[in-house]
Homo-oligomer: A and B are copies of this chain.
Amino acid sequence: MFDLLSESPLGRRGRLTTPHGVIESPFFMPVGTGGAMKGLSHHEIVELGAQILLCNTYHLHLRPGETIVQEIGGLHEYIGWNKPILTDSGGYQVFSLRGISKIDETGVKFQSHIDGSPLFIGPEESMKIQHALGSDIIMCFDHCPPSTAARADILAAVDRTLRWAAICKKTHDELNARNGTASLLFGIVQGGLEADLRKKCAEELIAIGFDGYAVGGLAVGETEAEMYDVLDYVLPSLPKDKPRYLMGVGKINQLLESVKKGIDMFDCVLPMREARHGNLILSADETIKISAGRYLHDHSVIDEHSPSPLSRLHRKSYLSYLLRTGERYGETIACMQNLGLTLQALDDLRGQMDS
Contact with B along A7-50 (1 / 0, CB 8 A): 00000000000000000000000000011111111110000000
Contacts of A310 in B (CB 8 A): 41
Give bound CA distance, A341 to B229, whole Å.
57
Q: Which of A89-97, A135-143, A178-186, A318-326 contacts B (4 or more CB under 8 A)?
A: A318-326
Taking a contact as CB atoms under 8 Å apart, the answer to whether A80 and B313 are in contact is: yes
Surface stretch bound by B, among A101-109, A239-247, A327-335: A327-335
Shortest Cβ gap from A27 to chain B (Å):
22
Instruction: Check A63 for interface membership: any CB of B closer than 8 A.
Output: yes
Q: Is A248 an interface residue (CB 8 A)?
A: no
Q: At the interface, yes or no: A315 with Cβ under 8 Å from chain B?
A: yes
- The chain B residue sitting closest to A75, CB to CB, is B318
Pair A325/B79 contact, Cβ less than 8 Å: no
Q: Which of B42, B315, B325, B331 contacts A34 (CB 8 A)?
A: B325
Identical chains in the assembly = 2
Given the interface pairs A36-B327, A329-B40, the reply to whether A80 lies near B315 with Cβ below 8 Å is: yes
Q: Does A314 contact B (CB under 8 A)?
A: yes
Q: Chain A: interface residue count, which band?
A: 35 or more
Known: A71-B297, A80-B315, A318-B79. A325 touches B39 (CB 8 A): no
A233 at the interface (CB under 8 A from B): no
Interface residue? A64 (CB, 8 A): yes
How far apart are A133's CB and chain B's nearest CB, in angstroms? 13
A72 touches which of B64, B317, B332 (Cβ 8 Å): B317
Whether A309 contacts B63 by the Cβ 8 Å rule is no
Instruction: Write out the residue numbers on chain B whose beta carbons fall within 8 Å of the beta carbon of A77.
Output: 299, 315
Q: Do residues B80 and A36 form an inter-chain contact, with CB atoms below 8 A?
A: no
A39 in contact with B329 given A78-B315, A317-B78, A318-B78 (CB within 8 Å):
yes
Q: How far is the CB of A183 from chain B (nearest CB, A)?
A: 21
Q: Does chain B have a CB within 8 A of A296?
A: yes
- The answer to whether A80 and B297 have CB atoms under 8 Å apart is no
Say if the beta carbon of A349 comes within 8 Å of chain B.
no
Q: Nearest CB to that of A326 among chain B residues?
A: B34
Contact B325 A68 (CB under 8 A): no
Give Cα distance in the complex from A353 to B42, angstroms.
37
B317 and A41 contacting across the interface, CB-CB below 8 Å:
no
Q: Whole-angstrom distance between the alpha carbons of A26 and B239 in the complex?
A: 67
Contacts of A42 in B (CB 8 A): 313
Q: How far is the CA of A331 from the CA of B299 in the complex (A)?
A: 30
Q: How far is the CA of A315 from the CA of B324 in the complex (A)?
A: 34
Nearest CB on B from A291, distance (A): 13
- Other than the given A78-B299, A78-B315, 20 more pairs (CB < 8 A) read A34-B321, A34-B322, A34-B327, A36-B327, A36-B328, A37-B329, A38-B327, A39-B329, A40-B329, A43-B309, A63-B324, A63-B325, A64-B296, A71-B297, A71-B299, A72-B299, A78-B317, A80-B313, A80-B314, A328-B328
10 CB contacts below 8 A, A to B, read A34-B322, A34-B325, A36-B322, A36-B327, A36-B329, A37-B329, A38-B327, A41-B329, A41-B332, A78-B299
